[in-house]
Each structure stands twice: as structure tokens, then as C-alpha cells.
Chain A
Amino acid sequence: MKDLVERKRIKSHQIQLLLLAVPGILFFAAFSYFPMYGILIAFKNFQIKKGILKSPWADPWYKYFKQFFENPYCKQLLTNTVVISVGKIVFNMFFSLSLAIVLSELKVKWLKKSVQTITYLPHFLSWVIVYGIIYALFSESSGLINVALRSAGKPTIPFLTSDGSFRMLLYFSDVWKEAGWGAIIYLAAIAGIDPGLYEAAAVDGASRWQRIWRVTLPSIRPTIIVMLILKLGTVMNAGFDQIYILYNSQVYASSDIIDTWVYRIGLEQLNYSLATAVGLFKSVISTILVLSVNKIARKWEESLW
């Protein structure tokens, strides 16, 4: 009897919460779940005039998936996407984290504030502008570095046009643009650490390096892991804007990713079914990655859910 009353009370409490959630649920239902019926396009020979529902089914149903996997560039696209994406995650997290730790150790307040502002400003620039800056610095004919090399009589370096250096350029332009922005969340996490821990460490004679290693990093471990899980969810998106603006025919082999390929196919040939099939494939991979990383993280008791 007592049990029942208890359960009932919880229920009415939950109804209030559920009511509160209704607008949110409606929002996601209308704008995230309802449009997902468009996934059907991946399994149909989509015809613009007939619309999604009336278009005939693809024969066999996996026709467009097969087309993607049998594409001569499939392997290269997948490799490039994953390599560039993982590279970006590693570099970006490393530099964001380092920047956050350095900033948190800075005791001069105005310096800290101004450095933080300057480093996160590039986040708001569009890639077109960043490309302008990159071109002005790294172009082989008129870029700052190569002009200096040439006037010194040294051979010039094709930063923008060789497979070797192009990926590094992608990583570092991404770090330059996003590291400051990424540092904000770590800074917030560091600010939440109990100062008592630092004081205790200092009393015990821990050096600054030891305090970072033993106090700061373990304290923000949950944040780092959550960020990692979130980033892995986008591992199949290696950054379309950036690559589309920066790449050229000389570096296709090292920089053409799934998204740029889909864009060319979709745009030039109106092959919606293929583009949707590839998009669906990407989402499935991302979901699997997020689920499995979360499972691993749960073992360390730091999971996202």
C-alpha cells in the first residue's frame, strides 16, 4: 500500500516534468524526426516530380550503397575522411587543452582576458577569409614565406599544392581557427575545480607541473571524455567548408573527403539517392562510434549517459 502511494506520487511529479518537456519533444519531432522519413530516398530511385513517397523503390534496395562502395574512390574517400578527422580531433583537443591550462595558470588578469579574446576571435571568421590569409602566407608565388625563401635564393615550398604538406595545413588552420573557442569549455571546467585541492598540493610541495598533472587534468577528465565522445560523433564529417575552399586538383588524393565527393555528385548529376545513401551510411558509422566509445567510457565511470 505504501509502495503504491509512493509510486503514484512519483508519477504525478513526472507528469509535470513531462509537460515541461512537451514543447522540446514537439520541436525535435517536427524538425528532427519527421524530416527523417527522407531517408527513404536512399532506398528509392528518387524522381523529383514524383516526390519521395511515389518514387519507385531501388532494385535491389541497396543499389545506391553498392554504387558508393564500388566507386573507385570509395577507399580513398573513407581513408581521407577518417585520417583528416582524427588528425583534427587530436590536434584540436591537444591545443585547446594546453591553451586552457596555460590561461588558467596565468595570474595577470588583463593578459589572460586579452589572450583569450584574441585566440577565440578567429572562430567567427569564415573559411573564405581564412583561405585569404593562408594564401597570403603560404602561396608559392606570392606568399610571405616563399617570397622570403626566393629572395634568399632558397627553393620554394609548395605548401598548398603538395599532398605531403596539405593535410598539415588543414590541421593547423583548423587549430588556429578553433583552438581558442575549444579552450573555453576546458577553462570553465578548470574554474570549477576546488581551490582547496591546489592549496593542499602546494602545501605538500607540489611543483606547478605536478599540480597540473595531478590536480588539473584528473579533475577535468569528465569534461575531456565528454568532449571526445561528442567529437567522435562528427568523425565522418572532416570539415566540408574548410576542405572545399582549400583544396585543388593537385591535392585531391590526400584531401577529397566523402562530403566533397557527395557535393560534386549531388550538384553535377542530381543523384539524390546516392547522396542520401552516403549520408545515411555516415550517420550509422557515427552512431556506432558514439555508442561504443560511451560504453568504454562507462567502464571508467565517465560516460555521457
Chain B
Amino acid sequence: MKRILLVMVCLALVAGMVFAQAAPEANAKEDEVYKIVYYHNSSAGGQDPAKDPILKALDEKLGIDLSVEVITTDFESKLNLEVSSGNAPDIMQLKSAQFKTLEEQGVLLPLEDYLPTMKNFMQRYPDILDDPTLRYNGHLYFLNGRDDDSQRIKAYSSLWVRKDWLDKLGLAVPTTLEEFKNVAIAFATQDPDGNGINDTFGFCGMGGNAENKDTMYAWNPIFGAFGVGELNDWQIQDGKVFFGPTSERYKEALVWIRDFIATGAVDPDIMLINTYDQIREKVYRNQVGLMYMTWAEFVKAPFNTMLAEMTPDAQWIQIAPPVGPYGDSFDSIYNVPGFLQSGRCLSADLANNPEKLQKVLDYLDYIVYGEGLNLVCYGIEGTHWNYVDGQIVTTDKIGEVSYSWMHQVMGRLEKEYMSIKFPYCAAEVQFAANLPRIDSYKNFVTIPASRNLTDLNRYVDEETVRFMYGRRDISEFSDFVNTLYKTYGLGEYEEIAAENLKNAGLL
């Protein structure tokens, strides 16, 4: 490690000498070209700036030197390191857990005074300044507004079932929890793929601790059938806010899942699966016929051609979540945007350099709506897309800008984007978008001082799995809830949630 450091220092010195020669040229220009740095967190790697026509177009149009740094691993540590050494990136992507700490330390720039000067921004989000739900201590920090329902897509996920297996076994598409269970058992025991080997499972999905997903993700529609969400779900009912896992309905969902798992129809690896690759592998091997999955990782290119090649006979269809004993049917929770969210913030250091700040604001205002938004979504007009009868139609070169997500700093108009970029998925996009989802208010719950949210999450996570697998008797559910209050301070979280929601005018 130390040796690596030494080598790095040497390299940095050499690099410094090489670049030192190039530097004066840039300074000689009359109008200073500001370098604007944006840190983006993504598991997919970014585009080489030399082969990035969107970047070139932005730099030329706005007279800036933009640098989008896509960080694939350890994003938080790298961002923190830059911030603590005084080099905070001008624009940074944050997760909600980081926000409060950085806000308290004065790293983030309050935006409410600057936004009114941004014409395009105000056109896209006319109500943003009047929305109390987005304010934290009276300030607005995130650049993300809320698109109206005509453009918003709440989620991509849904249940999927193999229609050809249903037909083969003479089963109907399941609509209730009981039918859901029966289909899963039939898939697991009646050899739906007809290969004579007992190698299929009834239900699968991502149950493990995946990045950007809570555990239990796969179980969303089952919890939804009982009107609750998976972990970390905060709901409002009868004017009161409560933590989902403490509710009676959560307990009933656990009992149902326990009995379901006991039938042996569920893939035993379900709680281990934490990548989409693992699910796709099971799909390609004909091991699963019913699963929770997102269309973006399943029927979008290149997965659509892979699916057709690997399992040409399979007919996957999306289905609505099963209806539970009280008539509830929700596909998942939907985290209502609040002042805590995953989004983009500006560095407070920019306030010391008004000229540069202006450039940053100009850049953001350019890509938030209209011409600039088209550029960062679909690439260069005339090369990657054209207007045909007033509609954007992509050319066969659109593949060159498949990395355009890294430039969508101000988000995109989801529905329009999906229909232009993935017209062949239109039906699946629409289906998932229309599914009912439970409003959840996690984005309003800050962590009480001296409490560790990680510990609370782990306890809920771990005990939920134990209840589900019958390793802890469900009669101890009330003990579980008591421990949440006594040991993990759930009461403090509840107080904070109630206060924040009241301030936001939601309670």
C-alpha cells in the first residue's frame, strides 16, 4: 500500500511536469474557461472524453471545460476524500444518507436564491420554489424537481411469469395470493420445462443486499398484497406516520411468506441473489418461471436478443401484483421525493467565485429543458437523431451515445425518453409504470443524533429473514417490535419523521 502511494506520488510529479507546459496556454485566453467537475456514481463505466461528442458540443456551446467523472467503486469514500481535502466537485451526486452530514458541515450550496434566474429550469419546474416538501431547514439543496405525472415513471419493476409454462400445466395467470402460491408450487414440482429433471423453482428475484436496493426487493409484491412495504418503509395512515415493519400487516405478510417458503417452491438462493446477472442466468437455464424483475434489465437491448437466443420458446409476460386478503395489491413502495433524496447538489465553495457559479448555473439551465436536454439525452441533432414531423426520431447511430445517461445531470423526461430510446419496450414500460405503488416517506426521516440507521436496518433485515424462514417463531413478533423501540430508538425516528412531515405539510 505504502509502495503504491510512493509510486503514485512519483507519477503525479511526472504528470505535473508534463502538464505544466500546457497550462499557460489556457490561462492566456481573455475569457477564462472554467473547469466544471461533476461526480457521478454508477456501476457502469463512463465514456472516454476524447470519444464523447456530447461533451464536445457542451464545451463549445457554453465555453466551459466540463469534466464528468463517473466513479464505479467506492463513490462515497472518493467524494468524501475530495471534499475533506478542499477539492469538492462543483456538482455532486449524493445519496440521502450522505446528505445530512454534508449539509451540517456546510459543504452544500442552498439553491433557492439562484434557481429563479434559471429560465429553463423554472419552465420545467414552475412550482419548485413553493414546494415545502423539498426544503430542509428552509433551504433547497437538490437540483431535482418533480416532473408532473405525464412525464413521471415511478418504477420499472413488476412480476413476470412464463406464459408457456402456465399453458403447459393448464394454469391461469395468478391474480390472488393463493393462486400465486399454487402456480409457484406447480412450477417447482410439475416439471414445466419437460426435461424430466426436477430442476425448476417457482419464485425468484433479488432478495440479497444489492447496491441501491434494500434487501427483500424480490418480496415487494407479496408485502404489497398486505398493504405494506419491504424494509425501510414509512407510511402515513389516519394522520399518523408509522414504520412499516412494526405493523400488524407486516406480521401477516411474514406468516404468509414463511408458509410459502416452507412449500419448497421458492428458489433457496433467493436471499443470496444481489445482481441482475444472477437472475438472468437462472432465466436462461430455464430454472425459474415466476419472478420479480425490472424490464430495463430483461427486455431492453442487449438482454432482449440474449433472451431470445438462450430460451427461444420462453414467453415471459408481466403480471399485476397478487391481491391479498384485504384486497390490497401493490407492486412495491414508491419513495415520495422529499428533501432527502438521491440527487445532485452544488458545492458551497462556488459561492466564493460568482463568475464560475454563473457558468455552472448556465450549464445546468441549458441541459434541464429543450435543446440542451435533447442533446444530453439523444446526442447531436442530424447525427444521432432528426426531427420527423416535429417528433424526435433516432438514427442508426444512436448506439454511439448509449452513454448519454452520464450527461443527464438534471434528469430527463422519463416517458418521452423511454418512448424515443426504447420504442420496442413501450408496452413493458407502460405496464410497469401503471402498477399501483404504496407511497412511502423514507425521504423525510433523518437519523437521530447518536443513532445508527445501519444497526436498525440490520436488525429489521436479519429478524425479518429469521421470521420468514421460521428460525424465529412469529409469536415473538411483539418482542421484535419492542426491541426496535428499546434498543434501536425507533421512537426517536418516529418523532423526527412526524416533525419533518408536519413541516413539509404532509401530516
Once A72-B455, A249-B209 are accepted as A-B contacts, the answer to whether A51 and B462 lie under 8 Å apart by CB is no
Stretch at the interface among B34-42, B77-85, B139-147, B168-176: B77-85
Once A48-B84, A49-B83 are accepted as A-B contacts, the answer to whether A249 and B271 lie under 8 Å apart by CB is yes
Q: Write the nearest CB–CB distance from A89 to chain B, whole angstroms.
A: 22
CB atoms of A267 and B285 under 8 A apart? no
- Among A142, A253, A267, the residue within 8 A (CB) of B269 is A142
| Chain A contact residue count (CB 8 A cutoff) | 38
CB atoms of A139 and B272 under 8 A apart? yes
Chain B residue at minimal CB-CB distance from A270:
B101
Mask of A72-115 contacts with B, CB within 8 angstroms, 1/0: 11000000000000000000000000000000000000000000
- The number of residue pairs between A and B whose CB atoms lie closer than 8 Å in the complex comes to 101
* Chain B residues whose C-beta falls within 8 Å of the C-beta of A139 in the assembled complex: 269, 272
* Chain A residues whose C-beta falls within 8 Å of the C-beta of B268 in the assembled complex: 140-141, 156, 158, 161
Once A48-B80, A141-B269, A151-B198 are accepted as A-B contacts, the answer to whether A31 and B6 lie under 8 Å apart by CB is yes
CB atoms of A71 and B458 under 8 A apart? no
A221 CB-CB contact with B under 8 Å = no
- Among A50, A141, A269, the residue within 8 A (CB) of B447 is A269
Q: Write the nearest CB–CB distance from A190 to chain B, whole angstroms.
A: 30
Q: Write the nearest CB–CB distance from A98 to chain B, whole angstroms.
A: 32
CB atoms of A252 and B102 under 8 A apart? no
Mask of A184-219 contacts with B, CB within 8 angstroms, 1/0: 000000000000000000000000000000000000
Q: A140-B269, A249-B461, A265-B452 are in contact. List 20 more A-B contacts (CB 8 A).
A: A48-B102, A48-B105, A141-B201, A141-B287, A142-B282, A158-B268, A161-B269, A161-B271, A249-B209, A249-B465, A252-B461, A256-B458, A261-B454, A265-B454, A267-B76, A268-B97, A269-B452, A269-B454, A270-B76, A271-B452
- Among A31, A48, A252, the residue within 8 A (CB) of B2 is A31
Contacts A/B (CB < 8 Å), 10 sampled:
A32-B2, A51-B84, A73-B455, A161-B269, A161-B272, A249-B208, A264-B458, A269-B452, A270-B80, A270-B97
Chain B residues engaging chain A, CB cutoff 8 angstroms = 2, 5-6, 76-77, 80, 83-84, 97-98, 101-102, 104-107, 197-199, 201, 208-209, 215, 267-269, 271-272, 274, 282, 285, 287, 447, 450, 452-455, 458-459, 461-462, 465, 469, 487-488
CB atoms of B452 and A250 under 8 A apart? no
Mask of A268-300 contacts with B, CB within 8 angstroms, 1/0: 111100000000000000000000000000000
- Among B201, B271, B487, the residue within 8 A (CB) of A72 is B487
Once A142-B282, A151-B197, A270-B80 are accepted as A-B contacts, the answer to whether A249 and B452 lie under 8 Å apart by CB is no
Chain A residue at minimal CB-CB distance from B204:
A141
Q: Write the nearest CB–CB distance from B74 to chain A, whole angstroms.
A: 8
Query: A residues 27-61 with Cβ under 8 Å of B?
Result: 27, 31-32, 47-51
A147 CB-CB contact with B under 8 Å = yes
Once A141-B287, A151-B198, A253-B462 are accepted as A-B contacts, the answer to whether A268 and B453 lie under 8 Å apart by CB is yes
* Chain B residues whose C-beta falls within 8 Å of the C-beta of A141 in the assembled complex: 201, 267-269, 282, 287
A117 CB-CB contact with B under 8 Å = no
Chain B residue at minimal CB-CB distance from A261:
B454
* Chain B residues whose C-beta falls within 8 Å of the C-beta of A27 in the assembled complex: 2
Once A249-B215, A249-B271 are accepted as A-B contacts, the answer to whether A267 and B77 lie under 8 Å apart by CB is yes
A238 CB-CB contact with B under 8 Å = no
Q: Write the nearest CB–CB distance from B254 to chain A, whole angstroms.
A: 14
Q: Write the nearest CB–CB distance from A36 to chain B, whole angstroms.
A: 13
4 closest cross-chain pairs (CB), A and B: A140-B268, A48-B84, A270-B101, A141-B269
Q: How far is the CA of A156 from the CA of B80 in the complex (A)?
A: 45
Q: How far is the CA of A294 from the CA of B434 in the complex (A)?
A: 68
Q: How far is the CA of A67 from the CA of B77 in the complex (A)?
A: 22
Q: How far is the CA of A269 from the CA of B107 in the complex (A)?
A: 15
* Chain B residues whose C-beta falls within 8 Å of the C-beta of A140 in the assembled complex: 268-269
A160 CB-CB contact with B under 8 Å = yes
Q: How far is the CA of A269 from the CA of B84 in the complex (A)?
A: 15
* Chain A residues whose C-beta falls within 8 Å of the C-beta of B488 in the assembled complex: 72
Q: Write the nearest CB–CB distance from B145 to chain A, whole angstroms.
A: 26
CB atoms of B458 and A252 under 8 A apart? yes
Q: How far is the CA of A161 from the CA of B43 in the complex (A)?
A: 26
* Chain B residues whose C-beta falls within 8 Å of the C-beta of A150 in the assembled complex: 198-199
* Chain A residues whose C-beta falls within 8 Å of the C-beta of B5 in the assembled complex: 31
Q: How far is the CA of A160 from the CA of B267 in the complex (A)?
A: 13
Chain B residue at minimal CB-CB distance from A264:
B454
Q: Write the nearest CB–CB distance from B262 to chain A, whole angstroms.
A: 13
* Chain B residues whose C-beta falls within 8 Å of the C-beta of A135 in the assembled complex: 272
CB atoms of A250 and B454 under 8 A apart? no
Q: How far is the CA of A51 from the CA of B80 in the complex (A)?
A: 12
Chain B residue at minimal CB-CB distance from A155:
B264
A248 CB-CB contact with B under 8 Å = yes
CB atoms of B272 and A160 under 8 A apart? yes
* Chain B residues whose C-beta falls within 8 Å of the C-beta of A160 in the assembled complex: 269, 272
